[in-house]
Chains A and B, each alone.
Chain A
Amino acid sequence: MSASAHSHESGESMSVAIERDERTLVVKVSGEIDLVTSPQLEQELTRVLEERPEVLVLDITRVTFLSSAGLAVLVSTNQHAGERTRFRVAADDAVTLRPIQLMGLDSEFPVYPSMKEAVAA
């Protein structure tokens, strides 16, 4: 990714950074995605979808907690992405991958073990 990253803190427990090139937009999240922070993440993802990227990668490999409120954001982002944008998720450990798999969401959108693989897919 050559584009410069813009990043900001959303409260204390979650931060979001965005990287973009011509066709791919990567949203990197770290910290906790819970009842408090998930509305901020949803807002951010809705905003970047308006740029109509070809591919939107949500990298949650550095997320330390993912609750059902966060899973709902993943599902709604995938729905908003629709036909226009291909939505992909990077998740790699028990904290993030386990709830995604337990709820069968990995059959709704593709999940990759790393951001690089999600971008290259």
Chain B
Amino acid sequence: MDTDRADQTRSCEGEPLDTSTTGVEHRAVPASADRLPALRCVLADWATRVGLSADSVEALGLASYEAMANVVEHAYTDGEGELDLTAVLLPAENRVRVTVSDRGAWTTPPAQSDVRKGRGLPLIHHLAEEAEVIAVADGTMVRMWWSIPAAG
């Protein structure tokens, strides 16, 4: 158990661990593959604290990673850009919502661009209880929801 905890702290290094339960907010993060493990770690830590099941925490971590990986791989044709990651607790719905957005253009739909590699979006749709990919005015936004199991 101690080593698990140590590993988690180490892989979150570089990203502040917010100890509140209200949410996670990381804006204008450079869209680079080496930034993603720490962001995933921060998300998983938060999701555990707000009471998601271990299964949902795994699903949330992987789905969010895939959404961010899509930004890294597809959003910015010139190779440089930023992503926004937010996670919020929705008390009225007893759910959490993770949003990953960019200000680029997915030049090719990731799901079809390469049959060999394009499993990111299908995975997101399988792992999230609800998921949507929206083209917004200045980019693309992926929103994903998971339920918090009732206490007791």
Contact = CB atoms under 8 A, between A and B. Distances in A.
Interface string A42-55: 00000000000000
A102 B126 contact: yes
Contacts of A17: none
Contacts of A72: 116-117, 119
Interface stretch (B64-72, B82-90, B144-152): B64-72
A99 B65 CA distance: 13
Given A72-B116, A99-B123, A102-B126, A67 B37 contact: no
Contacts of A34: 33, 36-37, 65, 69
A95 B58 contact: yes
Counting contact residues on chain A (CB < 8 A from B), the size range is: 20 to 34
A94 interface: yes
B34 interface: yes
B127 interface: yes
A71 interface: yes
Given A35-B72, A75-B116, A103 B33 contact: no
Counting contact residues on chain B (CB < 8 A from A), the size range is: 20 to 34
Interface of B (DSSP majority class):
helix
Contacts of A94: 55, 58
B58 A68 contact: no
Interface in B85-121: 116-120
B133 interface: no
Contact of A76 (B11, B58, B116): B116
Interface in A63-85: 65-69, 71-72, 75-76
Interface of A: 13, 32, 34-36, 65-69, 71-72, 75-76, 94-95, 98-99, 102-103
| Nearest 9 A/B pairs, CB to CB | A68-B119, A35-B33, A72-B117, A102-B126, A68-B120, A36-B33, A35-B69, A103-B119, A71-B119
Interface of B: 11, 33-34, 36-37, 40, 55, 58, 61-62, 65-66, 69, 72-73, 116-120, 122-123, 126-127
7 contacts: A34-B33, A36-B37, A68-B118, A68-B119, A69-B69, A103-B123, A103-B126
Given A13-B37, A68-B66, 16 more contacts: A13-B11, A34-B65, A35-B33, A35-B72, A36-B36, A65-B40, A65-B62, A67-B66, A68-B69, A68-B117, A71-B119, A76-B116, A94-B55, A99-B62, A99-B123, A102-B127
